[in-house]
Structure 1
């Protein structure tokens, strides 16, 4: 394994200008405004991700897990995801989802496109239905630590890792990897990234990843 490349989900794989994965699912379960308000508070630094997760989780109570997975088939995504995953695999780079999205979301995308996983916040489910409780809380530091643990499992140092993200939740990971790309990102995220890009096609990130990889040997 030559490198590990970490990809965020919301704002990165999700199509720009569309609701977050949490808000998308909230629209299906009928509590969009409540979840969107909590996510906005997180973006302003007024709520933790665990607090947002607790708010969001209650709306899942009683929902079949299979129904949520079907809803995710309609998730609006950026173009070129399959191209980028294929490029990573051809280069012997491991593409990994490192996200604060629910594991129901990341596991769906991993099956669909061939990503590896690094964990995330998990909804409690009993006998195929969500309970409305958070089984595993997660924050941006957990995201960083779990991502680096995946790299360590493959014998890859943080300096040989690359990351693509868009928001404050990716900043701890950006601070420790060898190169980073801010994709359709907030100003704070773009300010600390190695490269910045605005696009509706994830394949446009490939030349930037290649340039970052060329700066140092894996």
Structure 2
């Protein structure tokens, strides 16, 4: 005597990756107070009905949970509804059970990440940014919070548009709203090992080393004026540098030690380097400043490569001259390519960070160029602009959340400093 046939379940569609448009499905949505065991209880109830899970999304905001589970429809949908409603009642949660046809829709082509950063992030600003996204015909598939202090950083997963199109649409709105917006393709490159190439003065550190040295020569004001003009792109960088260095003639070489001791890193600089080094990133600094300072910075922070100008020193004093060729705008881009080749990555895997006109070639050469608290002309030309003072904000653009940073630090026995010093 043959065994009884097993009950037939709905035949899945031949569409790869799950149920197709002709398959009956059920969407179960629960809302209520978050507590341990909610997800497992709901899934156990669904398991008893013999359904397949097609999609799951869950978020928790201030202790309130929203859980959505899309499953194949059983023969007895009414029975499933009764059991899920019972389970939700025991959990003191609200539930909605909706029967339909088809799997969760396929996300549109052209997937990008849109990072929105504000300090604070006003609701009106976020509404304006999401409104511009909708106007392009793109869809927001998912929203994640990457950080809540010292800035608020939100990552929007968007589909249905090209990064270049969306970037152009959002740039003007971000400026109007006073927030930072970065648009990046949602591809594997965002998760791969990368090389970070940074400017030093007013990027990795606060202030300009040449102006600190000029204070020892009594000409800080004059040097600062030339520096500003050069960073705005109004003066040829090499000529401006030689003019400024000439004013340092006669300064004792020991002033370099005093300047180094007085350097303050940008807030978040140590955090950014520490976290990304754990993930296998490599770091380089390329500076129009001076190797006598940048080499020490590289050694202190564990930075892999450094390139800068060398001040000539004779008999313990600066001569007012540079040794060798000047590291200028073009030289920074050349250094970036050389470092990438040495690491063994393409320039598309390089992230460049800078603030001045002499960083523009470097920013445009890299796969991701970030203008950090930059001059207006640099902000307008760069792919991404960050205008908050925290260098570790770059981590949020790479999909690393503040919670992940703090958890990794805690596991390593590192006490995360207060936000303004991290």
The TM-score with structure 2 as length reference comes to 0.46
In the alignment, structure 2 segments of 5+ residues that lack a partner are 1-191, 401-422
Map 1:62-81 → 2, pairs under 5 A: 62-81=250-269
Using the alignment, how far apart are the partners of 1:195 and 1:159 within structure 2? 15
Match of 1:130 in 2: 318
Matched, 1:6 2:197: yes
Q: CA deviation at 1:194?
A: 2.8
Relative to structure 2, which stretch is displaced further, 201-210 or 63-72? 63-72
Q: Is the 8 A contact 1:97 1:115 kept in 2?
A: yes
Match of 2:348 in 1: 159
Relative to structure 2, which stretch is displaced further, 38-47 or 155-164? 38-47
Using the alignment, how far apart are the partners of 1:154 and 1:14 within structure 2? 24
Match of 1:150 in 2: 339
Map 1:80-159 → 2, pairs under 5 A: 80-136=268-324, 137-159=326-348
Q: Which has the larger radius of gyration?
A: 2
Q: Specify which of 202, 205, 211 is matched with residue 391 of structure 2.
A: 202
RMSD between superposed Cα atoms in Å = 2.1
Matched, 1:185 2:374: yes
Higher strand share: 2
Match of 1:59 in 2: 247
Higher helix share: 1
Q: CA deviation at 1:87?
A: 1.4
How many pairs align?
208
Q: Is the 8 A contact 1:53 1:134 kept in 2?
A: no
The TM-score with structure 1 as length reference comes to 0.85
Q: Is the 8 A contact 2:209 2:259 kept in 1?
A: no
